[in-house]
Structures are given as structure tokens and as C-alpha cells.
């Protein structure tokens, strides 16, 4: 049975970017483990799940305009499906018994896939900035090198920053020489300015005036064109040519990302 681990912060991950891949992995028959710093049960971003902010943020996350009062909104139905997936995930034994990625005995080499969900809340900096997580990934990511690799990594949105901040022994990011995508700067700016009056700098994980996710990731790549971008609303993922690594931009991509990762894991574990 293929084994997948989610490396997470205690709070703040995007529910779509967590629950949709989890559902895909479970439906594929994979064994899933969650890990937080000290083994605390994680919680995804409540703003994405509740109240008025849910309606607003879902549409900024998916690139969909807000509906009129009279509209019959299919996107809201899709969101309800994601909320249902999240509730199922949050009630699962895997979610409620996470490992502790800070424990001396913890390791990720026994997993076929490491998955890094994103999220805008400042709480996700717990995993993005963690030297412990960086050390784990610095050892794991080279094991994804094709053609003989039997390991894989998937990341979406701010989850890509966990990798961009991880350094190899030569001081370069593990993403140096790798093709990737992440949250596009234009999407981030649209969401930040569109919600600033209501939510302040919520959409800037490192605060107003900080560089965008795209800028942060591109800065550590071998060449700028290794950041593969699309501003189209259609689902978009990037499969690196040299490593078993697949990345995505935002919640609108996660169904496709889950499908691609399931296929990849089945291939490398066959």
C-alpha cells in the first residue's frame, strides 16, 4: 500500500488544498498520515469555512466573481462539496492522530509521497519557516530524481514555499534546476487588494509589502523561466522533467493535482 504524508502547520492551511487531495489519496487506497510540529491535531483556515468570509474567499481563491443575489451559483455548490470533504477528513482517524515532525524519531523516508498543502493565514509560516522540516525535505527531495526514483513530492500554492526555503548542502534551494508553479503574483495581488478593507493583510502571509509567493519562489530557481505560470482559470499543474515533483497554483487546481499525484504514486510503487 502506497504511503503519503502531509507536512502541516497547526493552523491555517487552505481546506480545499488539504481535503481534496486527501480524498483523492484515500479513494486510491493510499495510507495517509498527517504530521504537525508537536503532534497537535491541525485545523484548516476557519475563514475559508465559515460565514461571510467563506463566500468571499472561496471566489478569490478560485478566480470566480461574487454572485448576484438572484444568481444560481454552481461554485457555492462546489464549495459545499469541499466543506463536506473537509468534515469527513476532520473526523478521520488519520487527522485526529497526527505524527510530530519535530520528534527526534520522526522521519519521512518511509513514505512514497510527501504532500505540502498551501494556505494564506500567517499560521502556515510554522511549516514554511521550520528548519526541522527543511532538514527532512533536504534529505528526501533528492530521492525524487528520475529515472529510477521511488519517491515523489506534491505541493500547491504556499506549500511550494516550504520547498523553495529548503536548502541543499551547496546552499541552493532544492528547487534549483526544477520546474515549478505556485500562487501567481497577479492572483495574490487581486486577492489582497480585493479583501484588504475587510481582512487587512490576510492575503499577505508575511505581511503587507512582502514579496509575493511567485517572487519568493522564482528568486531561488536556476532561471526565471523555470517558474511555469498560467493566469487562465482552467486547472493547471506543472510536472517537473527531472524529478517526481508536481506543483499547482491554488484551490482551482487541486482536483487535477490529486489525479496526477495518484497516477504518479501508482507508477513508482508498481
Cell 521511488 belongs to 150
pLDDT at position 81:
86
Q: What is the pLDDT of residues 20-49, one digit of tens each?
A: 999 999 999 999 999 999 999 999 999 888
- Band the pLDDT of 51: cuts 50, 70, 90: low
Residue 80 in 3-state DSSP? Answer: helix
pLDDT digits (tens, 9 = 90+) for 120-170: 999 999 999 999 999 999 999 999 999 999 999 999 999 999 999 999 999
H-state helical runs in the chain: 15-27, 51-62, 74-90, 125-128, 131-140, 159-164, 185-199, 213-218, 254-268
Q: What is the pLDDT of residues 74-104, one digit of tens each?
A: 333 347 888 899 999 999 999 999 999 999 9
In this structure, are strands 245-248 and 237-239 parallel, antiparallel, or unpaired?
antiparallel
Q: Which CATH number fits domain 3-63+74-269: 3.30.310.40, 3.40.50.880, 3.40.50.720, 3.40.50.920?
A: 3.40.50.880
Mind listing the pLDDT tens digit for each residue in 261-270? Answer: 999 999 999 9
**What pLDDT does 182 receive?**
99
Weakest-pLDDT range from 8-12, 30-34, 46-50, 211-215:
46-50
Q: How distant, in Å, are the alpha carbons of 73, 135, 174, 175, 264 from that of 216?
A: 35, 19, 14, 12, 27
pLDDT value of position 17: 96
> What per-residue confidence (pLDDT) applies to 65?
41
Q: What is the percentage of the chain residues whose pLDDT exceeds 90?
A: 84
Q: Residue 126 and residue 116: Cα distance in Å, rounded?
A: 13
The three-state secondary structure class of 105 is coil
pTM score of the predicted model = 0.92
> What pLDDT digit, counting tens, does each position of 164-188 carry?
999 999 999 999 999 999 999 999 9
Q: What are 212's three cell numbers?
A: 509575493
Q: Give the strand pairing for 3-7 and 31-36.
A: parallel
Amino acid at each position: 500500500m502506497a504511503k503519503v504524508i502531509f507536512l502541516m502547520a497547526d493552523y491555517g492551511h487552505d481546506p480545499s488544498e488539504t481535503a481534496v487531495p486527501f480524498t483523492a489519496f484515500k479513494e486510491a487506497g493510499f495510507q495517509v498520515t498527517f504530521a504537525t510540529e508537536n503532534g497537535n491535531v491541525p485545523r484548516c483556515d476557519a475563514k475559508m469555512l465559515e460565514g461571510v468570509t467563506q463566500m468571499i474567499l472561496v471566489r478569490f481563491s478560485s478566480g470566480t466573481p461574487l454572485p448576484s443575489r438572484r444568481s444560481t451559483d454552481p461554485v457555492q455548490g462546489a464549495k459545499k462539496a469541499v466543506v463536506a470533504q473537509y468534515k469527513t477528513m476532520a473526523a478521520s482517524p488519520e487527522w485526529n492522530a497526527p505524527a510530530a515532525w519535530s520528534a527526534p524519531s520522526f522521519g519521512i523516508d518511509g513514505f512514497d509521497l510527501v504532500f505540502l498543502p498551501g494556505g494564506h493565514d500567517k499560521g502556515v509560516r510554522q511549516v514554511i519557516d521550520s528548519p526541522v522540516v527543511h532538514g527532512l525535505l533536504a534529505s528526501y527531495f533528492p530521492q525524487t530524481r528520475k529515472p529510477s526514483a521511488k519517491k515523489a513530492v506534491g505541493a500547491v500554492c504556499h506549500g511550494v514555499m516550504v520547498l523553495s526555503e529548503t536548502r541543499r548542502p551547496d546552499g541552493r534551494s532544492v528547487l534549483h534546476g526544477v520546474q515549478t508553479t505556485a500562487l501567481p503574483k497577479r492572483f495574490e495581488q487581486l486577492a489582497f487588494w480585493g479583501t484588504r478593507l475587510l481582512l487587512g493583510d490576510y492575503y499577505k502571509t508575511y505581511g503587507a509589502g512582502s514579496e509575493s509567493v511567485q517572487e519568493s519562489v522564482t528568486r531561488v530557481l536556476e532561471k526565471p523561466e523555470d517558474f511555469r505560470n498560467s493566469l487562465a482559470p482552467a486547472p493547471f499543474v506543472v510536472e517537473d522533467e527531472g524529478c517526481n515533483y508536481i506543483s499547482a497554483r491554488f484551490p482551482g487546481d487541486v482536483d487535477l493535482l490529486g489525479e496526477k499525484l495518484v497516477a504518479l504514486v501508482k507508477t513508482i510503487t508498481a
